[in-house]
């Protein structure tokens, strides 16, 4: 996992509509950048729908939400349409962003070791610095926890 206080690695990735997103275009806003293993799986669906439900509150706090997985643009489009997701899902099949953010790691699944995306969420400030990092997050709790973190930052 990347260290708090370090500059967030830049990226240039297509979303579910094929539009390219870069970290630089979000300068001046907080960015909730969450990495998840796979579209339409139970945990990832809970996490994405949680962010979707709370999205207006993230916007009120001046934050954008970006989901990233190695799934294709077409897979992201189906995921977005099936669940009505209101935020960009970035496609990273080459693992460029996933590896830059150190979330491509060894995982143990049913006694088998394999490489995959470890569910991780970063909060990046208006200048592009990582100000919070959460590894191995619980999918269902992650969206509301990130909203709490944003509220705490506004109050401090």
Supply the residues annotated as catalytic.
44
Q: Alpha-carbon distance 27 to 23, whole Å? A: 7
Q: Alpha-carbon distance 50 to 141, whole Å? A: 8
Nearest CA-CA partner of 120 in 140, 141, 142:
142
Beta strands in the chain (DSSP E): 12-14, 20-22, 30-35, 63-69, 89-91, 104-109, 112-117, 120-124, 130-135
């Amino acid at each position: 996992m990347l260290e708090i206080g370090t500059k967030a690695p830049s990226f240039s990735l297509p979303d579910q509509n094929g539009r390219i997103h870069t970290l630089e275009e979000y300068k001046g806003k907080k960015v909730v950048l969450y990495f998840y293993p796979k579209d339409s799986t139970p945990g990832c669906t809970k996490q994405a729908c949680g962010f979707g439900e709370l999205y207006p509150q993230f916007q009120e706090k001046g934050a954008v939400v970006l989901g990233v997985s190695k799934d294709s643009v077409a897979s992201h489009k189906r995921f977005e349409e099936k669940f009505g997701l209101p935020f960009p899902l970035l496609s990273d099949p080459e693992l460029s962003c996933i590896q830059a953010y150190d979330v491509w790691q060894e995982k143990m699944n049913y006694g088998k070791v394999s490489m995959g995306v470890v569910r991780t969420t970063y909060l990046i400030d208006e200048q592009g610095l990582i100000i919070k990092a959460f590894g191995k997050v619980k999918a269902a709790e992650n969206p509301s926890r990130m909203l709490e973190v944003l509220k705490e930052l506004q109050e401090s």
